[in-house]
Amino acid sequence: MLTKEKLAEDLKGALKNADQNTVGVLRFIMSAINNKEIEKRGRGDKPELSPEELMQIVMSEEKKRKDAIEMFEKGSRQDLADKEKEEMAIIQKYLPEQLTPEETKEAVTKILGQTTNKDFGLAMKEVMKELRGKADAKLINGIVKELTSK
């Protein structure tokens, strides 16, 4: 389970080992966590983040890297794309193992088989409730679209 303490501990280890890539990525994640805690405090909520909220922040950072890689590759900037790939590899250490496309399709089919609703939006809501963080959202979207259009 991902915790703020684990991230802080890993950051200290990366600082001791002079691993600048890991230090940069973990500082960025810790900053995003602190910003989320400040936002919650401003709304009067408890500032502590749940493990799910921490996971959402890490997943968001991974998505930013994926988008950046795509943009850099379109712009023929492989050097920058490679740097983003290195950062994404560090981030992925903190995410649960992702399902393969076949496992994702099987899980989506199973979830949608339990519901009679063929509305895309509601189907996506049900599937994402079960598979958030376990599979790529774009892949899930494509599979749900395919299955609900039948």
pTM (two decimals): 0.74
Residue 115 has what pLDDT? Answer: 58
CA angle 25, 140, 103 (to 5 degrees): 95
* Burial call 3-42: b when 16+ CB within 10 Å, e when fewer: ebeebeebbeebeeeeeeebbebbeebbebbeebbeeeee
Per-domain boundaries in the chain: 4-92, 101-148
More confident residue, 89 or 135: 89
What the block records as the tokens of 32 is 């995003």
Residue linked to tokens 């089919």: 109
Residues whose CB falls within 8 Å of the CB of residue 75, separated by 6 or more in sequence, listed in order:
none
Residue 116 has what pLDDT? Answer: 54
Which segments of the chain does DSSP mark as H helices, in order? 4-16, 20-42, 51-74, 78-92, 101-113, 120-131, 137-148
Q: 4-92: what fold? A: Hypothetical Protein Yqey; Chain: A; domain1 (1.10.1510)
Note the pLDDT tens digit of each residue in 7-19.
999 999 999 999 9
